[in-house]
């Protein structure tokens, strides 16, 4: 049997609990702990993206300048580089890829209800479906109101 745990953060502890945790199936209960990002730990928020579509050419210039400034501090790798130097370069790349957009782009926060995949086509279809739903609801209300209107009409005819 394969036990698989997928996570978007480092897993610091992973274990299978003892048999005293009944699941009602042949699966076992897995307990795991995930590491917390230092930024997340500091202010209990996690910025996971940037609104790059809103950036203009004017906004891209400061980003380029900052990247060039950071690149001056970067060690150049060659054929004789060590594993540690490659690791440091990887760390530099990761930091640069988050520091430059942090400084120059609008940050966005993604939560469980965020729809990062939502696009204009889906938005238009959702608007159309909502309109149809409202139209249908209005038709149902009209259908329920029709007998009441007929009764009022009949009563007024009887009074004549």
How many domains does the structure of the chain reveal?
1
Residue 10 lies in a domain: yes
pLDDT at 143 > cutoff 70: yes
Distance from C-alpha of 67 to C-alpha of 62, rounded to nearest angstrom:
9
Lowest-confidence pick of 8-22, 41-55, 137-151 = 41-55
Segment 78-125, tens digit of pLDDT: 888 888 888 888 888 888 888 888 888 887 776 666 666 677 777 788
Q: Does 6 map to a domain?
A: yes
Position with higher pLDDT, 109 vs 127: 127
Q: Considering the domain boundaries, does residue 74 fall inside one? A: no
Quote the domain boundaries for residue 19.
Answer: 1-35
Q: At what angle do helices 57-71 and 83-104 cross, to 10 degrees?
A: 150
On whether residue 136 sits in a domain, the answer given is no
Within-domain flag for 85: no
User: Model-level pTM?
Assistant: 0.39
């Amino acid at each position: 049997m394969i036990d698989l745990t997928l996570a978007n953060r480092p897993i610091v502890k992973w274990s299978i609990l003892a048999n005293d945790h009944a699941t009602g199936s042949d699966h076992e209960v897995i307990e795991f702990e995930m590491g917390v990002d230092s930024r997340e730990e500091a202010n209990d928020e996690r910025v996971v993206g940037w609104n790059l579509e809103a950036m203009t050419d004017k906004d891209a210039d400061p980003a380029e300048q900052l990247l060039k400034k950071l690149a001056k501090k970067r060690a150049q790798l060659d054929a004789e580089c060590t594993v540690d130097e490659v690791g440091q370069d990887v760390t530099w790349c990761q930091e640069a890829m988050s520091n430059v957009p942090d400084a120059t782009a609008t940050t966005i926060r993604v939560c469980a209800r965020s729809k990062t995949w939502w696009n204009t086509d889906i938005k238009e279809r959702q608007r159309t479906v909502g309109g149809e739903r409202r139209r249908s609801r209005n038709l149902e209300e009209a259908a329920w109101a029709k007998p009441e209107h007929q009764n009022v009409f009949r009563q007024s005819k009887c009074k004549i």
